Copies of this chain bind each other. A is one copy, B any other.
Amino acid sequence: MKDYKVVFFDAYGVLKNSSGLIPGIEGTFNYLKEHNIDYYILTNDASRGPKSLAQYYIDEGLTSVTHDKIISSGMLATEYLRLKVKHGTVAYLGTGESAHYLQDSGLQTLPISNMDVNDVKHVNALVFLDDEGFDWHHDIPKMVNLLMKRNIPSIVANTDKSYPVSDKEVGIAIGSIANMVEDITGRNFIKFGKPDAQMFIFAYEHCQKAKEVGRESILMVGDTLFTDIMGGNKFGIDTALVLTGNTLPENASDRIKQFGIIPDYVCDSAVID
């Protein structure tokens, strides 16, 4: 790591898992501080705002993880709305906490559960934020019917398909629900999150404010070939795959060969003693 000036970390499977922080990961943060290496956490998570996401690490004892270290895919949805949706109401799927990402847009916000599908003329955008906070059976079909009535931009603030809820079980992420609605309606949604380049450029521009670095001085550390490694590679930064999450030690080399997604490094974990 010491050859790099900035490290981008994935959160889940790298820094934490369903039991809490990865044991020993504080050593890594100490190392970064000692060697004056900057870092950011890039997460496909729009369920909570950066402050709330950072608070988790602070509560767990990683006090250096302040909110400005968090780059979440939800922040790209905020930027999109600011640039492209000038007025009207934005309907959303997600909790009130996830709606944080919409508040700065200057638009009226409308949780999907409160939307009357017969009164949607004022709805000018639809945002998929989180898989919690609405009634799936009732509200997902409402999305489909909204889109049959209104040809409006639909923004997906997290492209992940699933997320771990325990050691052996996963939840269905909002990205999967968005894919289903996209497939049913035939529309093309605007999707934010790794591996998409826009997530990396957002982090890149963010880190330039602290110190100017070239892409050759940035390392992406992640546990998932299809998001962290594929996205990092395409953006032109070096990539390290860790085996504490989605990619299992027993089939890491097979999967790298099968999919042709090639990390620059493969490490057991992101822990530095």
Contact surface of A with B, Cβ cutoff 8 Å: 79-80, 83-84, 117, 135-137, 140-141, 144-145, 147-149, 151-154, 161-162, 168-172, 176-177, 179-180, 183-190, 196-198, 201, 215-216, 226, 230, 233-238, 251, 254, 256-262
Contact = CB atoms under 8 A, between A and B. Distances in A.
B237 A169 contact: no
Nearest to A257: B151
Given A141-B170, A177-B180, A256-B151, A197 B201 contact: yes
Contact of A235 (B117, B198, B234): B198
Q: Chain A at the B interface: mostly helix, strand, loop or mixed?
A: helix
Contact of A184 (B80, B137, B148, B161): B161
Contact of A180 (B79, B176, B188, B201): B176
Q: How many copies does the complex hold?
A: 4
A148 B170 CA distance: 9
Contact of A183 (B83, B176, B189): B176
B188 A259 contact: yes
Contact of A141 (B117, B171, B196): B171
Contacts of A179: 180, 183
A84 B153 CA distance: 35
Contact of A233 (B153, B177, B183): B153
Contacts of A140: 136, 172
16 contacts: A80-B236, A83-B215, A83-B216, A84-B236, A141-B171, A144-B170, A145-B168, A151-B260, A153-B262, A187-B260, A190-B233, A196-B197, A197-B201, A198-B235, A201-B201, A251-B254
